[in-house]
Amino acid sequence: MQTETTFAPLVFNRSNYSDALLLELYEAILLPRMIEEKMLILLRQGKVSKWFSGIGQEAISVGVTKGLDSSDYILPLHRNLGVFTGRNLELKKLFCQWQGKKYGYTKGRDRSFHFGTPEHRVIGMISHLGAMLGVADGISLASNLDKDTVISVAFSGDGGASEGDFHEAINTAAVWELPVIFLVENNGYGLSTPSNEQFRCKQFIDKAIGYGIEGIQVDGNNILDVYEAVTSIAEKMRKDRKPVILECMTFRMRGHEEASGTKYVPKELFEQWEIKDPVKNYERFLEETGVLTPTRAVMLRERIKNQLAEAWEQTFAEPEIVANIEEELKDVYAPFVHELTLPSSGGSSQTKRLVDAVSDGLRQGLEKDPGLIIMGQDIAEYGGVFKVTDQFHKDFGKERIRNTPLCESAILGSALGLSIRGRASVVEMQFADFVTCGFNQIINNLSKTHYRWNQAVNVTVRMPSGAGVGAGPFHSQSNEAWFFHTPGLKVVYPSNPYDAKGLLTTSLLDPNPVIFFEHKYLYRSVESEVPDGYYNLPLGKGNIVSKGEDITVVTYGWGVSWCMEVQKMLPEVSLEIIDLRTLLPWDEELVFESVKNTGKCIVVHEDCLTGGIGGEIAATISEKCFKNLDAPVMRVGSLDTPVPFSNHLEQQFLGKRILADKIKELSAF
């Protein structure tokens, strides 16, 4: 352990390592250095674009990768080339990735190290720092559930450690006793921001105390120190499953990225850290101990040089991507063939409330898939704030009905990690409003992962939403539009108990992230006949809940009840009420067909008017059904204010207030 950085040539402790191992480490650290040296030349020649250099920090990536088993997961960042080379990724494929070629890991869809390759157990980053730390939690949670010995290592920079995700992920791992090494590469800068403008603690291992876990600090430039630390932490962690913060002290010898320069870094720091260069020092040590002869060193460099030249030649020879819209759209979602299961004929059924139907669906989902995990705040003994999972922990155990700390982001990240390990999961937001605290995971991680690197994301996020219960601006929002706008998500919004159960059981099977809305007011106010046995319903299919001739009403959720009420109030107008059931993708065919017959259409939702999904639906109908329309497509939404608390204000807020008048107006056209 060390706390102060000393600027002297590195001293290596070879322990009882064999010559073969020492040489293996040498080859492993030389390769990323030589790739980077070549990158700098290619950059100057304008043959490659952006590059984040890890020169000076290679001992960390390489020491970690070599210190783990090949079955362990690594979640590296932008300076961790040595992880990718250490796990023997094909160089041509890696270079094609950087060049945006189709042969790369993301078919040109994402850049640099932004990809996962599960076969190598390397799960790369998204741009948003901190986002992968929670994913490591999920990966290691799967290890605990499967009772295997796989661990994970999640990288963070010292700058990225200021993100809330860092705190949430470590806190969750500490509470759940997950085998994750949270590795902080402390290189003193986050882009241009020095440590003293980033955090106040003296060192990151001090933070470990607050999380009740162990913190270990090493000289990150010394490959043998890193290797030793990782092997011993890993050995212990496979038995004693607790997370550890491993702080590696190091320095970035080049700019944040090659175009950004290094003016903000005092020159003497480069001189001091040059003395501690991880590659040169290790090479010197090996030569001094006779493990590496000069001839062997020259031969090795020559071999790598040729290998790189060949891989680059092949990369440049790869054709540029031919853009193809169909192919792009196809990969946004993981393929899913829905197998319709109808309620068994003659099976029993009961009148149930929506809350009971959701509960039923979840219960049967858990029975059907023994790998399925539910995570949420207060969902075990307490049963969840709406009692949807009441008593579940008794039947399925607390491992599967998992109380979570108040860490929305880490838990949604964990759900992605579980998916990577082949497990489906459900995350219950206590209220849909709180999803904002996990927004990044949904919008940037869950939704984009399949498109980027072909990983199925079987996560259902349950969202108790909506107004009508006098709960004010932060417990009443309709926020489906936030997700409707995000390719890669599916958005489901049932209006009644029968649909809620059938749509939920399908969502649990779907290998795509599903944002599943459950209206709080409807939980206990609507009832319908619900089969006791298992059944499911297709996503993406709407339902005509009331046939009519004069006006097509497109709605969902609570809006369905509003429209049914208005139909009773206005028997002179015949409404064809369509319950969309799934908002993304929405059932255009069903809607267009109805509009063709009625010639008039109104879109009704509880969400505020401006930017609500009604705008998109109305625009599409106007465009696609123009010839059939006898009037403009109209919309009803709620007031463009936050959802107010007082009952009087809330009633005024809700679009229901103007619905009958709008229908009369449309009818009069």
Ligand X SMILES: Cc1ncc(C[n+]2csc(CCOP(=O)(O)OP(=O)(O)O)c2C)c(N)n1
Q: Which residues bind ligand X (CB under 6 A)?
A: 79, 127-129, 157-160, 163, 185, 187, 189-191, 252, 256
Cβ at position 326, least distance to ligand X in Å: 32
Cβ at position 51, least distance to ligand X in Å: 13
Residue (189 or 484) nearer to ligand X, CB: 189
Distance (Å) of CA 657 to CA 185, 519, 637, 638: 57, 19, 10, 9
Cβ at position 599, least distance to ligand X in Å: 49
**What φ, ψ does residue 311 adopt, rounded to 5°?**
-65, -40
* Catalytic pick among 167, 475, 519, 605: 475
SS3 content of the chain, % helix, strand, coil (to 5): 45, 15, 40
Residue (79 or 276) nearer to ligand X, CB: 79
Q: Which long-range contacts (CB under 8 A, 24 or more apart) does 312-317 make?
A: 312/38, 312/42, 312/95, 314/92, 315/92, 315/95, 315/96, 315/99, 315/101, 316/47, 316/99
Annotation says 606 is catalytic: no
Cβ at position 226, least distance to ligand X in Å: 16
Residue (15 or 127) nearer to ligand X, CB: 127
Neighbour-count burial for 179-196, b at 16+ CB within 10 Å, e otherwise? bbbbbbbbbbbbeeeebe
Residue from 617, 630, 621 nearest 666 by CA: 630
Cβ at position 158, least distance to ligand X in Å: 4
Name the token pair of 230: 């990782």
Please report which helix (H) or strand (E) contains residue 40, including its range: helix 19-44
The DSSP string of 657-668 is HHHHHHHHHHHT
Residue (53 or 377) nearer to ligand X, CB: 53
Instruction: Decide if 302 contacts 81 (C-beta within 8 A).
Output: no
Annotation says 120 is catalytic: no
Cβ at position 523, least distance to ligand X in Å: 35
Residue listed under structure tokens 């094609």? 96
How many C-beta atoms surround the C-beta of residue 661 within 10 A?
A: 11
Residue (60 or 237) nearer to ligand X, CB: 60
CA angle 311, 313, 314 (to 5 degrees): 65
Residues contacting 166, CB < 8 A, separation 6+: 130, 133, 156, 160, 182
* Catalytic pick among 185, 408, 428, 576: 408
**What φ, ψ does residue 238 adopt, rounded to 5°?**
-65, -25
Instruction: Decide if 522 contacts 451 (C-beta within 8 A).
Output: no
Q: Where are the alpha helices (DSSP H) in 463-554?
A: 480-484, 497-509, 520-523
Cβ at position 142, least distance to ligand X in Å: 26
Residue (52 or 534) nearer to ligand X, CB: 52
State which residue has the least CB distance to ligand X.
157
Angle, nearest 10°, between helix axes 278-288 and 223-239? 100
Residue (163 or 433) nearer to ligand X, CB: 163
**Which residues form the catalytic set?**
408, 475
